[in-house]
Amino acid sequence: MKQRTTLSVVVPLYNEEGNVMRLVEGVRAALGDRYAWELLLVDDGSSDGTLREVAVAAGAEPRIRPLVMGRRFGQTAATQAGLEHAVGDVTITMDGDLQNDPADIPHLVEKLQEGYDLVAGYRKHRKDRLLTRKVPSWVANRMIRWVTGVPIRDNGCSLKAYRRELVDRIQLYSDLHRFIPAVAVATVGARIAEVPVRHYRRQAGKSKYGLSRTGKVISDLLVLTMIRSFRDHPLILFAAGGAVAFAFAALFGVTSIIMAVRLGLPSIVFASVTALLAGLGAFLVILGLLAESAVFHAMARKPPPNLILSSPGARAGGGLER
């Protein structure tokens, strides 16, 4: 007899009073008895009545697991906490603001069962403001795609499905929830697919995001690039920076010598610039060695990373199909 897929739906919640019951109804209607499922509602230190609604919902529905964070840690930590508590073969993440439709979950699961490790939803018809949401999101997605090399078209959509093996292997921290597909590819070489999902306007509560996150996204992208390309050999990154600094130092050095010796012109400014740039080059190489040392000591304490994803038909090295 074929065993039913078990689903864990993880929903981080922060000040979503008024949305919880409708969310639960939506999940229940979408999943019904088709799957064995659990709904992990993770309250991330809400200051409104969200927690009360979660507790009441859990009192009425035994498949709900109500979790509470000790304080507000942010969406990444709340999502990671939910992933760590999930027990299903497949884990779904989604927002608690009812902008995702739980009815899309079966589509994601079907796609996942084709042999992918992660299926990301993309909002086909976004119901957001053009200038403050859609345009920044479009720019951010292009940047993320360009920097990470993972061609996900909608990184801001939280509705995603993950195979158990992947959930056990990824570790989110800081604000990396925005880049889960890129993290999954960078760290374990996950195979990724995208499916279109519905999108609705927020029905209650307030949005927690605005244009202010742009700087954070840029910083996180830099981190992600480093993790993806240089985690195992950070010296390469720093030595490359050092080489550029040394090259400019050489350029200014030669120029200052020519000015002083051949042309008899004052060259103190160029000579000083040479010293500064050479110092920067040396500093970067030293930092690279320090980074290697940090990685060496950390890795020596850990078992080798488990990069084996047992999904049928998974390809090495990751990739994306639609």
Partner 1 sequence: MTSPIGALPSDPLREELDVRTGEAVSILVPVTERPSNLQELYEEFATPFRSSGLGFEFIFIVEPEHWNLLAPLEELRDAGEPIRILRVGRAAGDATLLRMGAERAAHDVFLTLPAYPRIEADALLDVLEPVLRGASMSVARRWPRRDSWLNRLQNRIFHLLAASAAGGHSINDVACGVRAIRRDVFESLPMYGDFHRFLPFFALRQGYQVDEVEAPQHVGDHQPRIYSPSVYLRRVLDVFGLYFLMRFTEKPLRFFGLIGGGSLLTGSAILAVLALQRVQGQSLADRPILLLGVLLLVLGVQAVALGLIGEIIVHVNTLRGGNRVVREIRREPGSEGGSSSG
Does residue number 18 form part of the binding site for partner 1 (CB under 8 A)? no
Q: Is 234 in the site for partner 1 (CB under 8 A)?
A: yes
Q: Does 223 bind partner 1 (CB under 8 A)?
A: yes
Among 135, 254, 261, 290, binds partner 1 (CB under 8 A): 290
Binding residues among 23-52 for partner 1 as defined by CB under 8 A: 24-25, 28, 36-38, 42-43, 45, 47, 51-52
Window 118 to 147, contacts with partner 1 (CB under 8 A): none
For residue 96, what are its two tokens? 């608690």
Report how far residue 244's alpha carbon sits from residue 248's, in angstroms, rounded to the nearest whole number.
6
Stretch that binds partner 1, among 107-115, 125-133, 140-148, 166-174 (CB under 8 A): 166-174
Q: By C-beta, is 56 or 103 nearer to partner 1?
A: 56
The correct pick among 222, 261, 307, 316 for binding partner 1 (CB under 8 A) is 222
CB 102, CB 30: distance < 8 Å: yes
Distance (Å, whole) CA 201 – CA 282:
53
For residue 181, the minimal CB distance to partner 1 (Å) is 17
CB of 303 to partner 1, least distance (A): 13
Segments in 97-179 forming alpha helices (H):
105-112, 135-148, 164-167
Q: Is 9 in the site for partner 1 (CB under 8 A)?
A: no
Q: Is 7 helix (H, G, I), strand (E, B) or coil?
A: strand
Write phi, then psi, for 261 (nearest 5 degrees). -85, -45
Nearer to partner 1, 100 or 187 (CB): 187
Residues 246-275 that bind partner 1 (CB under 8 A): 259, 265-267, 269-270, 272-273
Candidates 299, 307, 308, 316; binder of partner 1 (CB under 8 A) is 299
Using CB under 8 A as the binding rule, whether residue 87 contacts partner 1 is answered as: no
Of 14, 10, 9, nearest to 209 by C-alpha is 14
Q: What is the token pair recorded at 212?
A: 């202010």
Q: Any contact of residue 14 with partner 1 (CB under 8 A)?
A: no
If one asks whether residue 65 binds partner 1 (CB under 8 A), the answer comes out as yes
Long-range interactions of 49-58: CB distance < 8 A, separation 24+: 49/17, 50/13, 50/14, 50/15, 50/16, 50/17, 50/20, 53/17, 53/18, 53/20, 53/21, 54/13, 54/20, 57/20, 57/21, 57/24
Task: Please select the residue that binds partner 1; options are 55, 236, 251, 257, rule is CB under 8 A.
Answer: 55
Comparing CA positions, the residue from 127, 129, 181 lying closest to residue 154 is: 181
Are 315 and 191 contacting, i.e. CB atoms less than 8 angstroms apart?
Answer: yes
> How many CB atoms within 10 Å of residue 295?
16
Q: Does 236 bind partner 1 (CB under 8 A)?
A: no
- Please tell me the count of residues contacting partner 1 according to CB under 8 A: 75
Q: Up-side HSE of residue 175: CA atoms within 13 Å toward CB?
A: 15
Shortest distance in whole angstroms from residue 142 CB to partner 1: 21
Using CB under 8 A as the binding rule, whether residue 11 contacts partner 1 is answered as no
Among positions 124, 142, 216, 322, the unique one binding partner 1 when judged by CB under 8 A = 216
Q: Is 54 in the site for partner 1 (CB under 8 A)?
A: yes
